[in-house]
Structure 1
Amino acid sequence: MANRKAPSHSTANSMRESLRQKAIEICDKKIAQKGEGVGISFYAFFKNKNDAPDILMEAAQWWIEKHQLDHFEKAVKIKTMIEKGL
């Protein structure tokens, strides 16, 4: 436990910059592939392995606790929220 790094973000329900950038990149990719009506889940920001559980939890807290979003939301909506710093 003593070797754990402190999160690089300021509050429990915010996203670190690297996650914000990754989420925007994924939203852009999905929108380009399937159009502006495409829905995504926060799981879209991660590969199919649990190699960064702290970052996965950070995304889940932002999505579920802070914003009370549905499991799938429009990628355009998520991108806009992230760009606004919500």
Structure 2
Amino acid sequence: MQESLKDKIIAVCNKKIAAKGDQVGVSFYAFFKNENDNPEVLMEVAEWWIKTHRLNHFEKAIKIKNIINGIPT
């Protein structure tokens, strides 16, 4: 996954955790606008989320950050 995308995912997770606490959940759609303006990147994240890591639709933001940072979950 692109470093810029990883940085964006971490930033979104940090923002959600700051607003709602470390038990807040996210879906991969949280990293995109409510429009499909970049389907290639959306599919890249969807594949990473669903195929590579076999994550549920909603996961804890802290878990996603840990996976991105290479910390075992």
TM-score interval, normalised by the smaller of the two chains: over 0.9
| Structure 2 CA distance for aligned equivalents of residues 57 and 63 of structure 1 | 10
Kindly indicate which of the two structures has a greater share of residues assigned to helix. 2
| 2:23 paired residue among 37, 42, 49 | 37
TM-score, structure 2 as length reference: 0.94
C-alpha distance in structure 2 between counterparts of 1:59 and 1:85, whole Å: 19
Pick aligned residue for 1:46 from 20, 32, 35: 32
Please give the residue correspondences for 1:3-42 in structure 2 after superposition, counting only pairs within 5 Å.
Answer: 15-42=1-28
Report how far residue 85 of structure 1 moved. 7.9
Aligned match for 2:51, one of 53, 65, 83? 65
Question: After TM superposition, which residue ranges in structure 1, 4 or more long, deviate above 3 angstroms?
Answer: none
**Please, which runs of 5 or more residues in structure 2 have no aligned partner?**
none
- For residues 36-72 of structure 1, the C-alpha deviation after alignment (integer angstroms, 9 at most, x for no partner) is 0000000000000111100000000000000000000
